[in-house]
Amino acid sequence: MGAAYFYHLTRRPLQETLPVLLQKARGAGWRTAVRGQMADRMSWLDEVLWQGSADSFLAHGLAGGPHDALQPILLTTTQDSANQPECLMTVDGAEVTPEEVQARERVCILFDGNNETALQQARSQWKSLTGAGCSAQYWSEESGRWEKKAEA
């Protein structure tokens, strides 16, 4: 039974935070799906990940390719992840169901703390997931480093 980890981004943007979390997931041996809502945004993340530093290379693919099932990290806009991930990371308010949280080792929900719409969406997801009995943690970088601020 997994847990949902909410990451409230206020100091570092998505393109800096996501690779760090992906490295941690790979270090745990997990296949990961990164789910967003817009194809062009996922294409942008694809480019960001390919341009990472040589010492932190993250092998990944953009959903729709011939080798999706083999990807250690798959960027997608759908709930169906061909790579059978143990970890799901969502960005830009992509939806997560309680069943997905229960079926994975971890679900990471990254949201822009400087965007009121994103904050409201994250609060709604927290209520929905914890209301369905999912374990959840809320992490903030407000102090300059990540700190767990709440757990349910």
Please write the tens of the pLDDT for every residue from 63-101: 999 999 999 999 999 998 899 999 999 999 999 999 999
Domain enclosing residue 144, as ranges: 3-151
Say how many domains are in the chain.
1
Q: Check whether 52 has a pLDDT greater than 80.
A: no
pLDDT of residue 54: 63
The label of the residue with tokens 């703390």 reads 113
**What pTM was estimated for this model as a whole?**
0.94
Written as one string, the DSSP assignment of 11-67 is SS-HHHHHHHHHHHHHHTT--EEEE-S-HHHHHHHHHHHHTS-GGG----EETTSTT
CATH number for the domain harbouring residue 46: 3.40.50.10110
